[in-house]
Structure 1
Amino acid sequence: MSVPVAPGRWPVLGHTPALLRRRFGFTEGLHTYGDVVRVHLGTLPMYFVTTPELTHRVLVTDSASFGKGAMFDKFRPFVGDGLVNSGGAFHLRQRRLVQPAFHHERIARYTGKMETAVARLSGSWRPGERREINEDMQALAVTIVGEALFGTEFGRTAIEEARRSIPVVIRHGMVRALSPAFVGPLLVRGNRQFDRAVRRMRAVVGTVIADWRATGVDRGDLLSMLLAARDSDGEPMTDQQVYDEVVTLLSAGIETSALALAWLFHEISRHADVERRVHEEIDQVLSGRPVTADDVPKLTYLQQVINETLRMYPIWILMRRTLRPVRLGGVGLPAGTEVTISPHALHHDPHTFRDPHRFDPDRWAPERVKDIPRGAFIPFGAGNRMCVGNAFAMTEMAVTVATIASRWRLAPVPDRPLRVKYTSTAYPARLSMTVVPR
């Protein structure tokens, strides 16, 4: 079966100019050409799967036939072989070592720290003050993930360095990932910023690990759990393996939550009925007291708002590589083939989500959510490589909105229009909002 090729291919550069120039618009339109569409990253052919059914096969039912793809190769110099990059038996071993840190009872213990961090931030606001909410949410996410990972005082330097370096690595890393190999050396400024950020994080996190090894004290944080964990043979992680997992958790945890929270407040402020329903539910469930872990499942409409935000603003693309010959949508692919999935395109496919660019939390009402097919909604991935911290992130978002919205409204600033940058996802480069007491 012949595979349709996406239009807009350049000699040598392939579809890279179109990908970097049009980004979401390019990948959103691929489903019109077929279930599997060939796109060239320079001279490297990639096969985009465009349906929920094929996505579910790649990520879940046939996941053993796929390893991590070219994009992850480009990020490996920074995050190493953490859960995001590793595969096979090693990935399974690492996941089993990391998973206990995100069990339900552990997340319940983190909830109090989350609420304290949010209350500290929102308590510093003043009525009528203008805030850059994207920057506030970035700082908040670094604080929450950093304190859960390192503890409050012990890892202060690492938390501050993560705030400085993680965004640099993720944004420049995506450009590296989508650029042909011969273009990489030409990205001089971005490469220098990327490399400096990598060196700084290695030095700071390495120091924190060495300090823990010297004392061996369990501080009740994620790092203590990682360093104390033992596999089925009684073997611990090496310092390098711990570093890889720490930077993976920082990279994934900070960006996902910070961006989702910024977009959450943006969308709530734009839709008066959504804002009213969120406030009414929070008032009813909390009755004026701080949010707890037991409250989070009761905030059902807020969970719908969170899911709709994650649908609207997911990561752009994921890449996999076939480990053996496979067939997808009638197309035979040999081992070593790059297969690409766009969560953003899937989340905006009108076949699954009617009027996909409209913000509609009621899509996630119980009577409607059952009609969404498997593979259509993958904000945290799926299968045995689903983000290990997804429950942590969902709790963090609920606690943040509940804590802030119980006291404040965030209103758009009319003379400061939203600016958006598109890299690995949609970044609100400037999200100015006015703090209004409720």
Structure 2
Amino acid sequence: MVSVAKVAVACAVLSTPYWLPNRVVALRGKVFARVNGDSAMTFPNDLVGADRFEEIYSHPAANGRSRGAGLSDLFWYWLSPGPEVHQEHLEAGPRYDDVARCTLRILSGPSAELSAAAARRTASVLDELVAGRAALVRLRDLMMPVWAEFLYGLVFREPCPPEARRLIVGHARDVVTSLKCTGPRHLARRARLTRYLERRVRAGEVAHELPSSLTLQERVHYLQGTFFNTGVVQMSEAMAHVLLALARHHDVQERVAADPDDDRYLGHVLDETFRMYPLFGIAHRITTADIEVDERTTLPSGSVLCFSYPDYHATGYADPEVFDPSRWERMSARAAHHIPFGVAANRPCPAWRLSPLVMRAAVREVLARFTLDSTVSHTRSIPHAAPCLLVRRDDPLPAHHVLLVRGFLRARDRWEDLWRSLLQLGLGTWMVLDARRARLAGTYFDAQDAEPPQVCPAHPTRRA
């Protein structure tokens, strides 16, 4: 007769995919907070509620980016090489303004041309990578070649050669897996892309005038970090979220597919996706002067402020946990607690205009070819890269085949989540410790403080 203890052990083992991952995530958060050592304040909170979130975020004194925060060492660790010239990490001032202007120039263009380019890249990659009647894919991985080619085209104004696409995609996947703590950073992949871009910059093959305030090596790192690191990763993540939401909500998917030219409704789908699954989890800023919250409370200069997008986006809505694009028919994104690209007064995402435009074009290309189906979990971080079944619209699978695939995806997702959470705990802890040891941000600012930058006599605005 089977003992009660054995039954209890068996139940505990079989149920681990349902309870252990959440416990590990909570433990990982505690490890990150303890190892980082920052006494950061996360908003919204009891002191600064959602009604004042954007006010504090937009405050002129909340403009420090990296100097003085232990958290910066971790982000520089993930986003190096050249993290000191990654646009996200430059301190406010003339150098940041110079780089930001260049980024906006590269990302600009007529809407029709940008949409057409995104549609061409999407169609080309889909036709290349998804052959046959149906395919199981990871949506983030599927979308990376699309945005590698698209952003390469913006920077170099020419078609992306296979070598460049391979280097960009390999580097971007390495970045995102380390950010998700599902894999370590591989310095060789990072360096190969750096060498390729350096050859192109030295040869004068970039189709834009790059920031004059940067040295040649810094220009290489700027291109790699801004466009072929953050740009490719964020666009691929954003598309994975939208397509996974469509795969899980067939009524929304079919409405978009039935009327692909309805920009308004597709815009609502993007707004709702960005609300529920914002690309930025936390935006951290360091105060460069005191900020008076009220007559009793002041945030002192040097404070680390962490602005939580998911927490803010969950306030001010009826049923915030429900994916409901139709809510935007009754409310304005501008008036809602909705800042998917940040706030205009404090370093907004430079792709705030470009991203929705080209994503709509890419979604149309995907839905013109495939129906999407998935039963996997949908979280903001999507560490599983969004598994999904794609089926040709003109050659559908039998219903029972789809049900079998859905069951397989659901079961695999549960068990993958189990081992992945343990991997994330181990790798995440190791990377936080290694970033703290390396002190990339701290070392950079220490050197700046110890030795004032030299100036090239021939170029007063350029550092030697």
Contact 1:49 1:341 in 2 (8 A): yes
Structure 1 residue aligned with 2:290: 325
Q: 1:354 aligns with which of 318, 337, 345?
A: 318
Q: 2:187 aligns with which of 195, 204, 210?
A: 195
Structure 2 residue aligned with 1:32: none
Structure 2 residue aligned with 1:338: 304
Q: 1:92 aligns with which of 75, 94, 97?
A: 97
Q: The residue matched to 1:160 in structure 2 has which SS?
A: helix
Structure 1 residue aligned with 2:134: 129
Map of 1:372-391 to 2, 5 A cutoff? Answer: 372-373=335-336, 376-383=337-344, 384-391=346-353
**Does residue 175 of structure 2 align to residue 169 of structure 1?**
yes
Cα distance, 1:84–1:43 mapped onto 2, change above 3 Å: closer
Cα distance, 1:259–1:355 mapped onto 2, change above 3 Å: same
Q: 2:200 aligns with which of 202, 208, 211?
A: 208
Contact 1:411 1:436 in 2 (8 A): no
| Residue identity matched to 2:310 | H
The higher radius of gyration belongs to 2
Q: 1:146 aligns with which of 145, 152, 155?
A: 152
Contact 2:114 2:358 in 1 (8 A): no
Contact 1:83 1:94 in 2 (8 A): yes
Structure 1 residue aligned with 2:440: none
| Residue identity matched to 1:394 | P
Q: 273-282 or 127-136: which moved more?
A: 127-136
Looking at structure 2, the residues matched to 370 and 306 of structure 1 have their Cα atoms a distance apart, in angstroms, of: 11
Looking at structure 1, the residues matched to 73 and 36 of structure 2 have their Cα atoms a distance apart, in angstroms, of: 16
| Residue identity matched to 2:154 | A
**Does residue 269 of structure 2 align to residue 305 of structure 1?**
yes
1:104 Cα deviation after fit:
4.4
Looking at structure 2, the residues matched to 421 and 269 of structure 1 have their Cα atoms a distance apart, in angstroms, of: 14
Looking at structure 2, the residues matched to 209 and 326 of structure 1 have their Cα atoms a distance apart, in angstroms, of: 42
**Does residue 64 of structure 2 align to residue 67 of structure 1?**
yes
Q: The residue matched to 2:87 in structure 1 has which SS?
A: coil
Q: The residue matched to 1:378 in structure 2 has which SS?
A: coil
Q: 2:238 aligns with which of 257, 260, 269?
A: 260
Structure 1 residues 147-167: Cα deviation after superposition (integer angstroms, max 9, x where no partner): 322344566433321211123
Looking at structure 2, the residues matched to 127 and 311 of structure 1 have their Cα atoms a distance apart, in angstroms, of: 34
Structure 1 residues 373-426: Cα deviation after superposition (integer angstroms, max 9, x where no partner): 4xx2222222241111222221221001112212322233xxxx526787xx33
Q: The residue matched to 1:48 in structure 2 has which SS?
A: strand
Contact 1:82 1:248 in 2 (8 A): yes
Looking at structure 1, the residues matched to 144 and 377 of structure 2 have their Cα atoms a distance apart, in angstroms, of: 16
Contact 2:106 2:155 in 1 (8 A): no
Looking at structure 2, the residues matched to 139 and 154 of structure 1 have their Cα atoms a distance apart, in angstroms, of: 10
- Note the residue ranges of structure 1 that are not aligned, 5 or more in a row: 1-17, 27-38, 176-186, 217-222, 230-234, 286-297
Cα distance, 1:321–1:197 mapped onto 2, change above 3 Å: farther
Looking at structure 2, the residues matched to 264 and 408 of structure 1 have their Cα atoms a distance apart, in angstroms, of: 14
| Residue identity matched to 2:288 | L
Looking at structure 2, the residues matched to 143 and 154 of structure 1 have their Cα atoms a distance apart, in angstroms, of: 5
Looking at structure 2, the residues matched to 250 and 410 of structure 1 have their Cα atoms a distance apart, in angstroms, of: 28
Q: 1:418 aligns with which of 376, 386, 405?
A: 376
Looking at structure 2, the residues matched to 263 and 437 of structure 1 have their Cα atoms a distance apart, in angstroms, of: 21
**Does residue 225 of structure 2 align to residue 225 of structure 1?**
no
Cα distance, 1:100–1:24 mapped onto 2, change above 3 Å: farther
1:126 Cα deviation after fit:
4.3
Could you tell me the TM-score, scaled by structure 2's length?
Answer: 0.67
Structure 1 residue aligned with 2:257: 279
**Does residue 27 of structure 2 align to residue 56 of structure 1?**
no
Q: The residue matched to 1:319 in structure 2 has which SS?
A: strand
Looking at structure 1, the residues matched to 179 and 101 of structure 2 have their Cα atoms a distance apart, in angstroms, of: 28
Cα distance, 1:154–1:361 mapped onto 2, change above 3 Å: closer
| Residue identity matched to 2:349 | C
- Note the residue ranges of structure 2 that are not aligned, 5 or more in a row: 1-21, 395-464
Looking at structure 2, the residues matched to 327 and 196 of structure 1 have their Cα atoms a distance apart, in angstroms, of: 47
1:320 Cα deviation after fit:
0.6
Map of 1:387-398 to 2, 5 A cutoff? Answer: 387-398=349-360
The sequence identity of aligned pairs, in percent, is 18
Looking at structure 2, the residues matched to 210 and 242 of structure 1 have their Cα atoms a distance apart, in angstroms, of: 10
**Does residue 436 of structure 2 align to residue 431 of structure 1?**
no
Contact 2:61 2:290 in 1 (8 A): no
Looking at structure 1, the residues matched to 348 and 25 of structure 2 have their Cα atoms a distance apart, in angstroms, of: 29
Structure 2 residue aligned with 1:240: 217
Looking at structure 2, the residues matched to 352 and 391 of structure 1 have their Cα atoms a distance apart, in angstroms, of: 25
| Residue identity matched to 1:432 | C
| Residue identity matched to 2:134 | E
Could you tell me the TM-score, scaled by structure 1's length?
Answer: 0.71
1:100 Cα deviation after fit:
2.1
Looking at structure 2, the residues matched to 385 and 306 of structure 1 have their Cα atoms a distance apart, in angstroms, of: 22
1:170 Cα deviation after fit:
4.0
1:307 Cα deviation after fit:
1.3
Looking at structure 2, the residues matched to 143 and 390 of structure 1 have their Cα atoms a distance apart, in angstroms, of: 19
Contact 1:66 1:320 in 2 (8 A): yes
Number of aligned positions between the proteins: 353
Looking at structure 2, the residues matched to 23 and 150 of structure 1 have their Cα atoms a distance apart, in angstroms, of: 44
Looking at structure 2, the residues matched to 387 and 404 of structure 1 have their Cα atoms a distance apart, in angstroms, of: 25
| Residue identity matched to 2:342 | G
Looking at structure 2, the residues matched to 364 and 113 of structure 1 have their Cα atoms a distance apart, in angstroms, of: 28
Cα distance, 1:323–1:236 mapped onto 2, change above 3 Å: closer
Cα distance, 1:281–1:421 mapped onto 2, change above 3 Å: closer
Looking at structure 1, the residues matched to 390 and 178 of structure 2 have their Cα atoms a distance apart, in angstroms, of: 31
Structure 2 residue aligned with 1:110: 114
1:321 Cα deviation after fit:
0.5
Structure 1 residues 276-312: Cα deviation after superposition (integer angstroms, max 9, x where no partner): 2212221xx3xxxxxxxxxxxx511001111111112
Cα distance, 1:64–1:157 mapped onto 2, change above 3 Å: farther
| Residue identity matched to 1:137 | M
Q: 1:157 aligns with which of 152, 160, 163?
A: 163
Contact 1:421 1:429 in 2 (8 A): no
1:67 Cα deviation after fit:
0.9
Q: The residue matched to 1:144 in structure 2 has which SS?
A: helix
| Residue identity matched to 1:337 | S
